[in-house]
Amino acid sequence: MPFLIARPAKAAQKINPHIKTVPVSEGIGNAAISIHPNVAQKNIKEQVSAVLADDLSKYRVALPESFHVEIAFREHYLAYRGSFYPGAKQTGAKTVEYESNDYMDVLRFLFFVL
């Protein structure tokens, strides 16, 4: 079950104001206050049904033409290991960078390197 709080919802709506969210918890320090799981599930189902009944084209997010990803690891050996991914390069003791015009390539890179 996804947990959304106010900040990510606002960030998503900056990308596309039509994006819908269902807040189910609120973060307070290192804790969270959540609504009852049955209420969360009901609210999520209602919002999904409303969105699916709507014009889905307005929810599309335009992707940039190219992507530049930089990952900063805590441990240097993880950056070294990640640098072996085809097309990736280690740019610092703990950083790896990757560039592509294909979003699926970026997702694949993240899957294998993280």
Give, for all 114 residues of the chain, the pLDDT tens digit.
344 444 667 788 888 889 888 988 888 888 989 999 999 999 999 999 999 999 999 988 889 999 999 999 999 999 999 999 999 999 999 999 999 999 999 999 999 999
Q: What is the pTM of this model?
A: 0.65
* Residue 110 CA neighbour count, 13 Å, CB half: 11
Which pLDDT score, from 0 to 100, does residue 44 have? 95
Which pLDDT score, from 0 to 100, does residue 7 have? 63
Task: List phi, psi (to 5°) of 89.
Answer: -140, 140
Query: In the 8-state DSSP scheme, what is residue 34?
Result: E
Q: Name the residue among 76, 113, 106 with its Cα closest to residue 91.
A: 76
